[in-house]
Amino acid sequence: MSSTTVDVAVIGAGVIGTAAAWRLADAGVRVALIDRSHPAAGSSGASDGYLAVSTKTPGPAMALAAASRARYPAWLQRLGPVDAEVRGGVLLVDHSDGLSAIEAHARHLRDHGVDVDLVDGARLRQLEPGLAPHLVAGLVCESEMQLNPYKLALATVAAATAAGVIPFWPATPVVERLDATGATLALGDGRRVIAHQVVLAAGAASAALGADFGLTLPVAPRQGVLAITTKTPPLAQRFLVSARYLTHKRDPSLAGTSTDPAERIGHGFTCETLPTGQHIIGSSRRFVGFDRTVPPDVLAIILASAIAHLPGLADCTILRAFAGLRPFVPDNRPLLGRSAAQPAVIVATGHEGDGVTLAPITAEVVTALALGQTPPVDLTGLDPDRFAGTQPHT
């Protein structure tokens, strides 16, 4: 049996895991990167790539996003082309009774140094003429960025391997030994990784992985459906997202209590114009286990809402629809930090739909913890042991 000894084994090759592995190797750490499938096979390869602060919930997620967004320009200079572009974004308000909530949200964003402008419906349609007339306001954030999440994940893999990270995939690690000095992981086919520290960054699969390490990580897969059109003249200059997207992000209980079909699937309209001339339309938030099939009724609701918000989409042809699985945590905060219960384990998961945005700051946090340094941001409220003894979310 062959054994590879490293300082840190990172489990999960989505954008969070690959970014952490790259940053660790950049700091001179010997790293193994392990994935049960292949890079970007999970959430990272099935997202819209919106790099945003304005869609984050107030509190730790918004603070992390603002810190991470500030790091992105330098990050992208090193990674190379990943179709990154500052296009701006707009939170759309379609009922006047939602204005007070958007005004409060704008104040939170400004407190985090994010420049936003709340405009009325008339000004909104000057900025985005294709929008429907029923929209009463919009929160415009011109600094928002979009990129190709799949290219981002592959670019971080390439940077990580160039920095000396040792890749292992496909491989499902089995814990043979775990104590305060590290872990021994059997990967199958006679392979074994011996690591002084382990980073758990397995996204939606983190609950089962955490249990293998003796940890309670109540991360549940939360399905999101997206549709992509064929090429067409651009219908919007900015990323468009309904304010209802934030409502369903914060309160998943609405799906179980509402009689509104859109609310029952956790729908909030989103639309992104790609450099290819296509549009990505979304989205939904449903707890259906690890099922990634696209139900026709869910897709129908998403497309009808899209046309209601951006009528020009009625003339577009849908090329395909697909579903991803966001790693959801019940209190809407990532699990990020070193486990007190298992001191050799650092947890970096539960980012839900924010993994692309939070990758740079998460990678810095993981690296600081692995090196015994003070993390660059406050981790209060993100303790990975905070759910110990609770039942997993379903």
> Stretch 194-201: mean pLDDT, rounded?
98
Structural domains in the chain, sorted by start: 1-85+145-219+330-394 (3.50.50.60), 89-142+220-328 (3.30.9.10)
Query: What does the pLDDT read at residue 232?
Result: 93
Residue 250 has pLDDT above 80, yes or no: no
Alpha-carbon gap, residue 348 to 16, rounded angstroms: 7
Alpha-carbon gap, residue 16 to 355, rounded angstroms: 6
Query: What does the pLDDT read at residue 294?
Result: 97
pLDDT tens-digit profile of 153-188?
Answer: 999 999 999 999 999 999 999 999 999 999 999 998
Kindly list the distances between the CA atom of residue 109 and the CA atoms of 64, 68, 70, 303, in Å, as whole numbers in the listed order: 12, 14, 14, 30
Residue 30 has pLDDT above 90, yes or no: yes
Alpha-carbon gap, residue 394 to 391, rounded angstroms: 9
| Banded model confidence at residue 253, pLDDT cuts 50, 70, 90 | confident
Residue with tokens 């305060």: 180
Residues belonging to the chain = 394
> Stretch 202-230: mean pLDDT, rounded?
97
Higher pLDDT, 118 or 250: 118
DSSP 3-state of 288: strand
Alpha-carbon gap, residue 222 to 29, rounded angstroms: 33
Kindly list the distances between the CA atom of residue 187 and the CA atoms of 30, 261, 344, in Å, as whole numbers in the listed order: 18, 44, 19
Amino acid at 139: L
Alpha-carbon gap, residue 350 to 332, rounded angstroms: 8
- String of b and e for 57-77 (b: at least 16 CB within 10 Å)? beebbbbbbbbbbeebeebbe
Amino acid at 276: T
pLDDT tens-digit profile of 298-342?
Answer: 999 999 999 999 999 999 999 999 999 999 999 999 999 999 999
| Banded model confidence at residue 391, pLDDT cuts 50, 70, 90 | low
| 383 half-sphere exposure, CB direction, 13 A CA radius | 9
Residue 271 has pLDDT above 80, yes or no: yes
Query: What does the pLDDT read at residue 256?
Result: 72
Percent residues over pLDDT 90 in the chain:
83
Residue 252 has pLDDT above 90, yes or no: no
Query: What does the pLDDT read at residue 217?
Result: 98
- pTM of the complete model beyond 0.85: yes
Query: What does the pLDDT read at residue 237?
Result: 96
Query: What does the pLDDT read at residue 4?
Result: 97
> Stretch 129-150: mean pLDDT, rounded?
95
pLDDT tens-digit profile of 77-120?
Answer: 999 899 999 999 999 999 877 888 899 999 999 999 999 999 99
Residue 211 phi/psi, 5° resolution?
A: -60, -35
Query: What does the pLDDT read at residue 40?
Result: 85
